[in-house]
Structure 1
């Protein structure tokens, strides 16, 4: 909608009262016996509002039918349809005739119809086991386990694509599960984790977690905000 709206019900709840002009259909608004403003009907809608002072002189006149181009107004009313469709509606006699400017730019259309460029190119791959570990936390899921667990965390090796899944009750348990995962795989494979790739979830950004990674010489690789494609191994 391209206009602000006065709710007469909201005004009534605030102590305003009304009287109606039977001849012209106008609404006169009062509060505590003092005349505040009157509203004039236009095609079934009260569009024109006139405020007056104590002497009855008009001090402010608002006409909502003025100030907005009809092309822009109908474009918004019809859910931002194209100019070609508006022209067709005019041709069919559904809409009144008005000028359609070719240089009109609708900011809402630009924002709402933008698309992201596809992610192309090759991504960095691990040259050996544990070079890059992808991780992500999922949950809460609607179905819980017998011990009321609703989250799980995954750790996937980039080189082999072999994954580990740990059930956790809270996201904050991710740190303890990572230490458990790290101790197991490094002991079994005789190699060290070099990089941990994750999104910017709070469970990966705690000071305790980051300090532990630095202590172990593990690089924390965080993907940019709102780009799950860059952490696609864990997301899939």
Structure 2
């Protein structure tokens, strides 16, 4: 059994310190342990100077928190020790966790979820574990685990992390959690200005052309999650603005839009003896391919602004 620790003073009382070179948990105070039994083995603990110390008894210890109860199994009671030591490897094995060591703090995280279970500090160059199994003291040290190790005066970082609250609410949150941060900022967050702005509602259109085919609304829907009986995934709509009459064509692919429009144009112009004057769409890629045909026949292409389906509302509702 090995235990290695270097310190400036041995007056640590009943504090517990993390030891990455210890194979077992060690304590000099039997009163801190429970389930104590005399040690029947012949092993001894070898300390840093090579001296071997006898093991008096063996017990267990628990530290409770709101996140998890940490258990120290098989803690050796060694009378000649002056410091309580926690074996990092044994702790990780018994508690299904792992450690992160930082210059000023250390973190204990759940091995599966990576959730922070505890945050500890450094004392005299050593990583110190809570000396008493007090629920309140342990909770206060990590209950705000999302707020640890944050640089001061980063008001914008807290603003982003907490879901873009108003500056007044954010100041109240930071103050209630005792988080040091410079709240005397008048910074304007561009993302909030854009995300919280409202688009004016569209008024109902009352315009209507004076004769059939003066304006035809068109839109493509798809792809459908399920094929039709003919294997089609799309349908193309044409709505006459004057009569609101609707033509529907089922398509297997988007590249059929151009040929389908030419069929539609030939049909309606022959049946009504009137030429199509205007075509209105959302200017999708499938309609951009119509540009040469529209220019050839003198048809004006009207299209809605990007991300504004309201401007093509008749056929969108269809």
TM-score, normalisation: structure 2: 0.50
**Corresponding position of 2:166:** 82
1:110-149 matched pairs, under 5 angstroms = 110-120=193-203, 122=205, 124-149=207-232
Q: Is residue 2:298 matched to residue 1:214? A: no
Q: Report the CA distance shift for 1:120/1:76 in structure 2 as closer, same or farther (over 3 A).
A: same
Q: Report the CA distance shift for 1:90/1:212 in structure 2 as closer, same or farther (over 3 A).
A: closer
> Aligned equivalents of 2:167 and 2:174: distance in 1?
10
TM-score, normalisation: structure 1: 0.66
Q: Which has the larger radius of gyration?
A: 2
- Residue 119 of structure 1 and its aligned partner are, at CA, apart by 3.0
> Aligned equivalents of 2:202 and 2:105: distance in 1?
53
| Equivalent residue in structure 1 for 2:284, among 201, 207, 211 | 201
Q: Is residue 2:172 matched to residue 1:172? A: no
> Aligned equivalents of 1:65 and 1:215: distance in 2?
65
Q: Equivalent residue of 2:275, what SS?
A: coil
Q: Report the CA distance shift for 1:218/1:123 in structure 2 as closer, same or farther (over 3 A).
A: farther
Q: Report the CA distance shift for 1:180/1:89 in structure 2 as closer, same or farther (over 3 A).
A: same
Q: Report the CA distance shift for 1:213/1:225 in structure 2 as closer, same or farther (over 3 A).
A: same
> Aligned equivalents of 1:182 and 1:232: distance in 2?
22
**Corresponding position of 1:156:** 239
- Residue 139 of structure 1 and its aligned partner are, at CA, apart by 0.3
**Corresponding position of 1:6:** none
Unaligned ranges ≥5, structure 2:
1-19, 23-84, 86-100, 108-118, 120-148
